Structure 1
Amino acid sequence: MFKAKQEKFWQDFVTKVTIALIYAFLYSIALNFFWQPGHIYAGGLTGIAQILSTLFDRSGGFTLSISVIYYLLNVPMFILAWFKINKKFVFFTVISVTFASIAISMVPTVPLTNDPIICAIFGGVINGFSLGLALKYGISTGGMDALIITLRQHTGRSIGAISMGINGLIILTAGYLFGWPYAFYSLLAIFVSGKVTDLVYVKHQKVQVMVITQQPNHVIPELQKVLKRGITVIPQGYGAYDYHAQTILITVITFYEMELLAKVMKEVDPKAFVSVSQDIKILSHFEELDIV
Structure 2
Amino acid sequence: MSTLERLSRRHILISKLSAALFYALAVAIALNFFWQPGKIYASGITGFAQILQSVSERYLPFTLATSVMYFVLNIPLFILGWFKIGHRFTIFTLIAVLLASIMMKIIAPIKMSYDPIICAIFGGVINGVGTGIALKSGISTGGLDVLGIILRKKTGKSFGQINIFFNLIIVICAGFVFGWTRALYTALNIFVNGKVIDAVYNQHQKMQVLIVTEHPKHIIDGIQAKMHRGITILHDAEGAYSHTEKTVLLMVIDKYDMYDIYNIVLNNDPYAFMSLSEVSKVYGRFKEQTPV
TM range (shorter): 0.7 to 0.9
Find the counterpart in structure 2 of residue 63 from structure 1. Answer: 63
Q: Distance in 2 between matches of 1:70 and 1:217?
A: 49
Q: Distance in 2 between matches of 1:256 and 1:84?
A: 21
Find the counterpart in structure 1 of residue 285 from structure 2. Answer: 284
Q: Distance in 2 between matches of 1:163 and 1:99?
A: 23
**Of 280-289 and 183-192, the range deviating more from structure 2:** 280-289
Structure 1 position 181 matched with structure 2 position 178: no
Q: Distance in 1 between matches of 2:194 and 2:276?
A: 29
Q: Secondary structure at the match of 1:36?
A: helix
Match runs of 1:1-292 below 5 Å:
1=1, 9-59=9-59, 61-111=61-111, 113-208=113-208, 216=212, 218=214, 224=220, 229-232=229-232, 251-257=251-257, 268=271, 276-282=277-283, 284-288=285-289
Q: Distance in 1 between matches of 2:4 and 2:234?
A: 39
Q: Deviations over 1:164-221 (max 9, x none)?
A: 111111211221332111112111111111121122224431134578xxxx554966
Quote how far apart the aligned CAs of 1:256 are: 3.9
Q: Secondary structure at the match of 2:38?
A: coil
Residues 83 and 58 of structure 1: CA distance in aligned 2, closer, same or farther (over 3 Å):
same
Residues 85 and 268 of structure 1: CA distance in aligned 2, closer, same or farther (over 3 Å):
same
Quote how far apart the aligned CAs of 1:47 are: 0.7
Q: Distance in 2 between matches of 1:99 and 1:227?
A: 33
Q: Secondary structure at the match of 1:207?
A: strand
Q: Distance in 2 between matches of 1:83 and 1:248?
A: 38
- Give the count of matched residue pairs: 279
Structure 2: 5+ residue stretches without partners? 238-246
Quote how far apart the aligned CAs of 1:41 are: 0.6
Kept in 1, the 8 Å contact 2:138–2:256? The answer is no
Find the counterpart in structure 1 of residue 244 from structure 2. Answer: none
Q: Deviations over 1:221-279 (max 9, x none)?
A: 68746765545567999xxxxxxxxx997542333455777896996466x9x683443
Quote how far apart the aligned CAs of 1:34 are: 1.0
Q: Distance in 1 between matches of 2:280 and 2:112?
A: 38
CA-based RMSD: 3.6
Percent sequence identity is 44
TM-score (norm 1): 0.78
Residues 222 and 180 of structure 1: CA distance in aligned 2, closer, same or farther (over 3 Å):
farther
2:191 partner amino acid: F
2:52 partner amino acid: L
Quote how far apart the aligned CAs of 1:111 are: 4.9
